[in-house]
Structures are given as C-alpha cells and as structure tokens.
Amino acid sequence: MENARTHDINNNRSDDGPNVSNTRTIYNRLDSSRLDSTRVKSVKEDARYDDDDDSNAITITPVIYRYKFTQDFMDELYKFSKVHQYDDRKSFKESWEIWAEESEDLISDETDRLEALGYEGDVLDKMFKSARYYFRKKSTVKPEPKERRKYVGIQKELLDAMDNHIISGLNKEDYKPSEGFNDFCTNNIDALKNEVERLLSNNLAADDIMKKVKKTYKNRYFMKISK
C-alpha cells in the first residue's frame, strides 16, 4: 500500500453581513478575507493476482441500491396513471386491478427481471405505489428553461496582477495563501476598485463580486502550484 498526500487550499467562511452596493465597502470586505490551507489525504491500494491461479479469481457482484423499472414498463404505467389521474382512491384501485389482470404478461416479465436483480420486496405493490403516488402526479408540461446569466470574467489586467503576486509570493519562504490574498488587496487598491466598478456596471451583486475575486485568486494559485 502506498500513501499519497496532496494539499488543498480552501476559503474560510465568514459572516459577511448585509449586502452593500458601494465600491469602497466591497473592497474593505475583500481586504478582510482569509484563505486557509488544509491537507487532504488520499490512499491508493494496489493488489496483484496471478492470472494463472484460479484460486485468486475474484467475482464482483454489483450492488444495486435502487431498482428501477424498464422504460417500456414505465411508459405503460404512466399511460395508466394519466388516464386515471383524477380517480378517487377506491376507483383508482379498482381500475388498477383490472389493468393488472389485462397486463399480466407485462407485469410478470418485469417482476421476473427485478427479482433476478435481487429485489426482495413486493413488486406489484411497488408498481401500484409508483402509479398512484408518482406517475399520476407527474406533470406533462415541461418547465421553460431558465435563461442563463451572461458570464462576466475578470479582466486580464487584474489576472496578470494576481499571477505576478502569486509567483512573487511562492519565491518567499514565509509565503502563505491566507496572507497572500490580503496583501494582494492592499497593494492593488486601484486595480480592484476599477474591477469592482466594472462588475457592478454589469449587474453583478456585491456578494457575487466578492466571491468572484476571492475564487479567482484561489484558482490562479492552484494553477501556479500545479505546474
């Protein structure tokens, strides 16, 4: 067994307080941010087997946590559920019994398949509950896709400033990412103000701008140490 250690740098979560809209307040909040470094351990195991030795043969049985019906069966179950969508419970149950009798072969095949996969419950009860409580209430109207917000990236000038600051910091023995971001904010006030104003003009919220700048700095740091 061989142990491998990797390092990860994460943001501390702090109480940012109420939303703000002015540039100076956003900058002050950026200046008080912190990045922590944590260690993430991963373990890698390597097992070797002799292919010529039958005693080493391993049979892997996949574990199934959710037994699903086939698409064909679900289509039929959905049709039944929609036909009787507005039936009361008694009428629905009576119609179900008739449908189950008429669909005996379909139900039998699906039952055999699920039991062969290892399902130990009452398959017919599972079918009834799916029809009554899921497919009957499932909407036939597709929700309209939400319009994606236009992506607004950080300008190249600020990205270059971040890169230069990170490279300079990595050459120092006492450099810490947690202190590096604060130092970057302190020494790049004008550049940060300009970027904040530009992002505000693109309808980004104050909290989103803060998160965006901090996340960008962290990502640039990861890019540098990964090379």
Judge whether 58 lies within some domain: no
Domain boundary among 135, 160, 177: 135
Question: Do 122 and 158 lie in a common domain?
Answer: no
pLDDT tens, per residue, the chain with 227 residues: 444 433 443 444 344 444 444 555 565 555 554 444 333 333 333 333 344 444 454 555 555 556 789 999 999 999 999 898 888 989 999 999 999 999 999 999 999 999 998 888 899 999 999 998 888 887 666 667 777 777 888 999 999 999 999 999 888 888 777 778 888 888 898 999 999 999 889 888 888 888 898 889 888 888 888 87
Q: Show the CA angle centred on residue 78, arms to residues 77 and 80, nearest 5°.
A: 65
DSSP category for residue 150: P
Alpha-carbon span 224 to 165, nearest angstrom: 11
Contact of 110 with 100, CB cutoff 8 Å: no
**Residue 142 pLDDT:** 65
Question: Do 87 and 118 lie in a common domain?
Answer: yes
Number of domains comprising the chain: 2
Question: Do 124 and 165 lie in a common domain?
Answer: no
Q: Give a three-class secondary structure readout of 54-68.
A: HHHCCCCCCCCCCCC
The count of other CB atoms within 10 Å of the CB of residue 197 is 12
Judge whether 184 lies within some domain: yes
Judge whether 51 lies within some domain: no
Query: What global pTM score does this model have?
Result: 0.40
**Residue 143 pLDDT:** 65
Residue in 227, 219, 158, 201 with CA at minimum distance from that of residue 35: 219
Number of H helices, E strands in the chain: 9, 2
- Residue 177 lies in domain: 2-44+152-226
Alpha-carbon span 186 to 215, nearest angstrom: 17
**Residue 68 pLDDT:** 87
Question: Do 116 and 157 lie in a common domain?
Answer: no
Question: Do 127 and 166 lie in a common domain?
Answer: no
Question: Do 221 and 157 lie in a common domain?
Answer: yes
Q: Give a three-class secondary structure readout of 7-19.
A: EEEEECCCCCCCC
Judge whether 59 lies within some domain: no
**Residue 56 pLDDT:** 52
Judge whether 38 lies within some domain: yes
Counting Cβ atoms within 10 Å, is residue 32 exposed (0-12), middle (13-18) or buried (19+)? exposed
Question: Do 25 and 88 lie in a common domain?
Answer: no
Judge whether 62 lies within some domain: no
Question: Do 128 and 83 lie in a common domain?
Answer: yes
